[in-house]
Amino acid sequence: MANKVRLGKTDLQVLPVGLGANAVGGANIFGEADEEEGKRLVRAAIDNGINMLDTAYLYGLGRSEELIGEVVKETGRRNDLVIATKVSPIITENGRIYNNSPAFLREETEKCLKRLQTDYIDIMYIHFPDESTPKYEAVGELKRMKDEGKIRAIGLSNFTPEQLAEANRDGYVDVFQGEYNLINRSAEQRYFPYMREHGISFIPYFPLASGLLTGKFRKDTPVADYRAKDPKFQGENYIRNVERVEQLRGIAAGKGVEIAHVVLAWYLTRDVIDVVIPGAKRADQVLDNLRALEVNLTESEIAEIDRIFKD
Ligand code: NAP
């Protein structure tokens, strides 16, 4: 099993492959999410050495946190784990209400602690920016909760670079979560320089491009599920994406692994990335993704992958 690494400037130690838990109890996102399978896959992750679990209120409107809380309690391994969750918008019939006021962040953090059955959260993210709260005041409230021991690291997600800079006025932000994968590499220009300059660890979401980067999609694979509305699974875009993914098959075969493992290992060669959090619907996918830790890419393979997905 690979060694743990320090997460950015925090004092958290993580196995470089974690678990993205938006499908655990996430029936509001995926429809088919089976709760027992969700618990099984969290158990499989913990039993096999994964220690970072990434969840949010938004995943099942608290249900993901509750299921993770149950499993963590059963395992008795709370202190080995790095649990990340997010204060998310409230969902109403008329849409989402974003609120990052200090009072709301504190109330929601208390609710997260209850759902997770714990007395501290390793990484507390603000899931999305709101319109009215000065960004540094929202982060300031997280800093107060950090000083009180309720949270151990401060995260932001889905903030624009300008919003992030405002939020990090006092230098309190530890980690940032944003979309990044071989198909959408815009974060390299938009966020990575700021991450480097401020010692913030970048945690990519959609690392497998919702499964496209596993190599299980071929040009003629019908895409009729939750992915059908996603532009990268549509028309010419889709064909071009599959063609590029196919070019990874040789590198993966040469190492006796699958494309997903090469892709995840490639992210871990980026200087601002310490950990990846691929999502999983089943326990076997969790175990499979751990094989990324077996992959050592040479400089020329790293450059070749960069070239294939350059534009
Ligand atoms: P992802 O990691 O790109 O894709 C995960 C999906 O790929 C799985 O649900 C599964 O879907 C498929 N898959 C995973 N491992 C596989 C394997 N070994 N073989 C074949 N298929 C496999 O996308 P994601 O789960 O949406 O994103 C990762 C995590 O990032 C989430 O779980 C969540 O924690 C976080 N996230 C955060 C935000 C944010 O706003 N901060 C947004 C999105 C996600 P199928 O079985 O359906 O193919």
Model confidence pLDDT, tens digit, residues 147-181: 999 999 999 999 999 999 999 999 999 999 999 99
Q: Which two tokens stand for residue 130?
A: 């709101």
Name the least confident of 222-231, 248-257, 258-267, 270-279: 222-231
Q: What does the mean pLDDT of the chain come to?
A: 97
Q: Shortest CA distance to 287 belongs to which of 44, 3, 92, 99?
A: 44
- Nearest-angstrom CA–CA distance, 244 and 185: 14
Q: Above 70 in pLDDT, residue 285?
A: yes
pLDDT, position 13 = 98
Q: Shortest CA distance to 21 belongs to which of 293, 283, 294, 295?
A: 283
- Nearest-angstrom CA–CA distance, 170 and 205: 25
Closest C-alpha to ligand 1, atom 33: 20
* DSSP state letters, 129-177: --SSS-HHHHHHHHHHHHHTTSEEEEEEES--HHHHHHHTTTS---EEE
For ligand 1, the distance from its centroid to the CA atom of residue 45, given in whole angstroms, is 14
Name the least confident of 81-85, 179-183, 221-225: 221-225
pLDDT per position as a tens digit, 21-75: 999 999 899 987 799 999 999 999 999 999 999 999 999 999 999 999 999 999 9
Closest C-alpha to ligand 1, atom 23: 206
Closest C-alpha to ligand 1, atom 29: 20
Ligand 1 atom, smallest distance to 22 CA? 32
Q: Which residues contact 193 (CB under 8 A, 6 or more apart)?
A: none
pLDDT, position 31 = 84
Mutate to test the pocket of ligand 1, among 285, 287, 295 (most ligand atoms within 8 A of CB): 285
pLDDT, position 33 = 75
pTM over 0.75: yes
Q: Does residue 30 contact residue 226 with C-beta atoms inside 8 Å?
A: yes
Mutate to test the pocket of ligand 1, among 22, 57, 86, 229 (most ligand atoms within 8 A of CB): 22
pLDDT, position 1 = 64
Q: Is the CB of 54 under 6 A from ligand 1?
A: yes
pLDDT, position 311 = 77
- Nearest-angstrom CA–CA distance, 264 and 192: 17
Q: Above 90 in pLDDT, residue 291?
A: yes
Catalytic residues: 59
DSSP 4: P
Backbone angles phi, psi at 31, to 5 degrees: 70, -55
Q: Is the CB of 209 under 6 A from ligand 1?
A: yes
Residue 187: helix, strand or coil by DSSP? helix
Q: Above 80 in pLDDT, residue 113?
A: yes
Q: Which residues contact 88 (CB under 8 A, 6 or more apart)?
A: 56, 57, 58, 127, 128
